Structure 1
Amino acid sequence: MKRLPQIALLPDGKRLHLQDGPIDLIVEAKGNDADVGAAYEAAARRFTGLLDELCAELSELRSAADPARCSLKGVVARRMHAAVAPFAADCFITPMAAVAGSVAEEILGAMQGAARLDRAYVNNGGDIALHLAEGEQFTVGLMDRPDRHGLLRTMVIEADDCIRGVATSGRHGRSFSLGIADAVTVLARTASQADSAATIIANAVDLPGHPAIVRRPANELQADSDLGPRLVTRDVGKLSNDEIEDALAAGARRARQLLVAGLIEGAALRLLGEIVVVGVTGTPTQGSQALHNQTIESMMHA
C-alpha cells in the first residue's frame, strides 16, 4: 500500500469520515465516550488497506458471479459474492453490485467487535449498514434521486425490526444502471443484501426498446466497467403515465419476488415523480408506527 486513507472527525465532532479512492464513508456511533472512541479506532484500522484488498481481486470481482462456487479470498470480496449469488443464475451480475454495502458491513463489524454501542451506522455513499441496540431507532430518508437532496418521505427502522441494511440504486447513482428508475431504495437484513437487490430491482424498472430512452455501451463510457458492452441508461425522455406505470410495475414484480424469497424486507421504486412501495410503508418521524409487516403497494405523486 503506497498511500494512506483520509481519516478525520467531521466538524460536528460526532461523525468520522473515512475516504480512500472511491470509498467514502460517514460513520457515527452512539454510546459512552470510551466505547465510541474504541469503535472509531477499530473502524480506522480496518479501513486502512481495505481498498488494496479489493483491488488485489478486482479482475474476478468484475467478472460474472458463479452462483455455485467462489474462489475469492478476501472477507469483503467473499461477502460481495455471497450477496449477488442468489441472482447470478438468472441474470448477469458481478460481485461489484454489492461492493458499497459489503464495505459498510465490514467497517460496522469492526466497530461492534471493539466496543459496546447503543447505535451505529456506516454510510457508504447512501448504502448503509446499521447497528441498533434495544430501544434504538434509525430514520431513513427516501430521496427523489440519489444526486438530489429533497426528501419525499421517511421510514423509521426500530431495533425490533430485522432490517440492518439500506441501499439505493438507479440511473442517477454512482454506478451504471440497465433500467430507467430514478432511484430504488431497498431495506434488507444486511447492507450487502440491500445493495445487490437494489441493483436487480432498478434494472427491472424498464421499457425495453422505447425510443425515448437513450442507452450507451457501458465500456464506451468507462473502459473498465464490469458491465462491458451492455447498454446502460443515459437519459429518459418524455413518457406517458401508462408507460411510467408499466415500468414501475415491472420493477415491483421483481421486488415482490425478492420479498417472497426473503431476500429483502421492502423497497421503494421511483420514476419521473411516481413512487411504488413494496413490502413496507413509512410514516413521518413523529409517527408512532413506521414499519408494517404486511405487503403493501401504493402509487402516489411525488
Structure 2
Amino acid sequence: MGPSRSTLPNGREHFQHGPIDLVIAAEGHVHAVQAAHDAAWQRFATVLPELVAELPLLRAPIGTDCPLQGPVACRMWQACAPYRSGFITSMAAVAGAVAQEILAHYTGSGIARAWVNNGGDIAIHLAQGQQVRVGLWADLARFRPRAAPHPLPTDAQFTVTADLPVRGVATSGWRGRSFSLGIADSVTVLAHSAAAADAAATVIANAVDVSDARITRRPADEIKDDSDLGARLVTVDVPPLPAALVDQALQAGLARAEALRAQGLIWHAALVCQDRWRSTDATAGRPLVQ
C-alpha cells in the first residue's frame, strides 16, 4: 500500500504509510498552513522508501562514523550516537526523527505553532510567545478511548513554551509499540528535538529495571524475526511487584535520566512504573506538571 492522506476534525492532517502514522496540527495564516500541509505531504511520500533502502545499516549497532546517507537516517544516527558506549541502533530514534523531518515544513512565516505526532513521539514548532500543552498517559494498559466530545483524561500535563529548550517529546516503555529491556510502564522525555527525545526515552526506559524471576522476558527475534535487538531479552510481562523493587527500578532509571540531563541531552523526564513516579524535577512523587 502506498501513502495515504486524510483530513481529521479541527483541520488536522493524517498521513500514513506502512508503519508510519502521523497526526499533524498547525495554526496560523490559512494559506501558510495549507501550503505547509501540501509540502509536508510531498516529502512524506518519500520518507519510508528512503529508510527501507538503508534498513540493514539502520538496524546495525551505532559505531564511531555514520555510514548513512538519507537526512532522516542521519538524524536517527546522530540522536543515538551519544549512547554508543552501550548497545543501541539508529532505530531507537526512528519515530522522532520522522516527525522532526515532517515538522520542518511547518516552521516558516505564517505558522504560529504546529506539532507532528508519530505514535506518541512528537515534534513541536512554536513561534515566539506561543505554547502547547502535552498530555501524559502513564500506563497504556489502562487506556480506554472516549468518544467525542468527552476529553481524554491524562495522568499529567506539561506546558511547553517557546522560550524553553524543548521541541520534542517522546515516550518509551515495555507496554508501548517498541520493545524495551526494562519494566517501566512509561518514560516520557522532553528534549531539544523529537529524535533526541526518542533515543533518550528508549535508553532511560531500558534502565528502569530489576532482576526478578516473576518478570517475563523473551529474545526479541523470537517475537519479531527482523528485530534490530537480535536475541536480546525484552520484557513481555511484568506482574505486580513489591513497592521496594519498583522503587529500585525507578531509581536506576532516574539516575540514568539525571546523568543525561547533566550532559544536556534531555530537559526533563518522567518515569512511571506500577503507579509509582520519579522525575528529574523531584526525587519522588509526580513530575512537575500543570
Q: TM-score, normalised by structure 1?
A: 0.89
Kept in 2, the 8 Å contact 1:123–1:129? The answer is: yes
Aligned to 1:184: 187
How many angstroms apart in 2 are the aligned matches of 1:300 and 1:19? 34
Q: Which runs of 5+ in 2 are unaligned?
A: 145-152
How many angstroms apart in 2 are the aligned matches of 1:145 and 1:26? 21
Kept in 1, the 8 Å contact 2:106–2:125? The answer is: no
Q: Following TM superposition, by how much is the alpha carbon of 1:49 offset from its aligned partner in structure 2, in angstroms?
A: 1.7
Aligned to 1:45: 42
Aligned to 2:213: 211
Structure 2 residue corresponding to 1:298, chosen from 277, 281, 284? 284
Kept in 2, the 8 Å contact 1:28–1:121? The answer is: yes
Kept in 2, the 8 Å contact 1:165–1:187? The answer is: yes
Aligned to 2:23: 26
Percent same amino acid at aligned positions? 49
How many angstroms apart in 2 are the aligned matches of 1:207 and 1:278? 20
Q: Following TM superposition, by how much is the alpha carbon of 1:146 offset from its aligned partner in structure 2, in angstroms?
A: 3.9
Structure 1 residue corresponding to 2:228, chosen from 226, 229, 233? 226
Kept in 2, the 8 Å contact 1:29–1:36? The answer is: yes
CA displacement 1:117-147 (0-9 Å, x = unmatched): 1000000000000000112111111112245
3-state SS, counterpart of residue 284 of structure 2? strand
How many angstroms apart in 2 are the aligned matches of 1:184 and 1:251? 9
Give 4+ residue runs of structure 1 displaced > 3 Å after superposition. none
CA displacement 1:134-173 (0-9 Å, x = unmatched): 1211111111224525511111011111100000000011
The alignment yields a C-alpha RMSD, in angstroms, of 1.4
Question: Which amino acid is the alignment partner of residue 97 of structure 1?
Answer: A
CA displacement 1:62-104 (0-9 Å, x = unmatched): 11111x2011000000000000000012x11000000000000
How many angstroms apart in 2 are the aligned matches of 1:144 and 1:112? 30
Q: Following TM superposition, by how much is the alpha carbon of 1:195 offset from its aligned partner in structure 2, in angstroms?
A: 0.1
Kept in 2, the 8 Å contact 1:204–1:251? The answer is: yes
How many angstroms apart in 2 are the aligned matches of 1:152 and 1:239? 21
Aligned to 1:137: 131
Q: Mapping of 1:245-256 within 5 angstroms? A: 245-256=247-258
Question: Which amino acid is the alignment partner of residue 279 of structure 2?
Answer: V
Question: Which amino acid is the alignment partner of residue 183 of structure 1?
Answer: S
1:158 aligns with 2:144: no
Q: Following TM superposition, by how much is the alpha carbon of 1:110 offset from its aligned partner in structure 2, in angstroms?
A: 2.4
How many angstroms apart in 2 are the aligned matches of 1:145 and 1:60? 33
Aligned to 1:273: 275
Q: Following TM superposition, by how much is the alpha carbon of 1:298 offset from its aligned partner in structure 2, in angstroms?
A: 2.6
CA displacement 1:250-288 (0-9 Å, x = unmatched): 000000000000000000000001111114xxxxxxxxx
Question: Which amino acid is the alignment partner of residue 238 of structure 2?
Answer: V
3-state SS, counterpart of residue 226 of structure 1? coil
CA displacement 1:38-63 (0-9 Å, x = unmatched): 11001101101210000000011011
1:56 aligns with 2:59: no
Q: Mapping of 1:75-154 within 5 angstroms? A: 75-89=71-85, 91-113=86-108, 115-146=109-140, 148=143, 150-154=153-157
Kept in 2, the 8 Å contact 1:94–1:226? The answer is: yes
Q: Following TM superposition, by how much is the alpha carbon of 1:116 offset from its aligned partner in structure 2, in angstroms?
A: 2.9
Q: Following TM superposition, by how much is the alpha carbon of 1:4 offset from its aligned partner in structure 2, in angstroms?
A: 2.9
How many angstroms apart in 2 are the aligned matches of 1:63 and 1:146? 29
How many angstroms apart in 1 are the aligned matches of 2:56 and 2:38? 31
3-state SS, counterpart of residue 166 of structure 1? strand
How many angstroms apart in 1 are the aligned matches of 2:87 and 2:101? 25
Kept in 2, the 8 Å contact 1:168–1:184? The answer is: yes
3-state SS, counterpart of residue 48 of structure 1? helix
Aligned to 2:198: 195
Kept in 1, the 8 Å contact 2:240–2:274? The answer is: no
Kept in 2, the 8 Å contact 1:120–1:132? The answer is: yes
3-state SS, counterpart of residue 297 of structure 1? coil
Q: Following TM superposition, by how much is the alpha carbon of 1:19 offset from its aligned partner in structure 2, in angstroms?
A: 0.1
Kept in 1, the 8 Å contact 2:50–2:70? The answer is: yes
Q: Which runs of 5+ in 1 are unaligned?
A: 280-295
Aligned to 1:4: 2
Compared CA separation, residues 144 and 13, structure 1 to 2 (3 A): closer
3-state SS, counterpart of residue 298 of structure 1? coil
Kept in 2, the 8 Å contact 1:212–1:238? The answer is: no
Q: Following TM superposition, by how much is the alpha carbon of 1:299 offset from its aligned partner in structure 2, in angstroms?
A: 2.1
Question: Which amino acid is the alignment partner of residue 6 of structure 2?
Answer: A
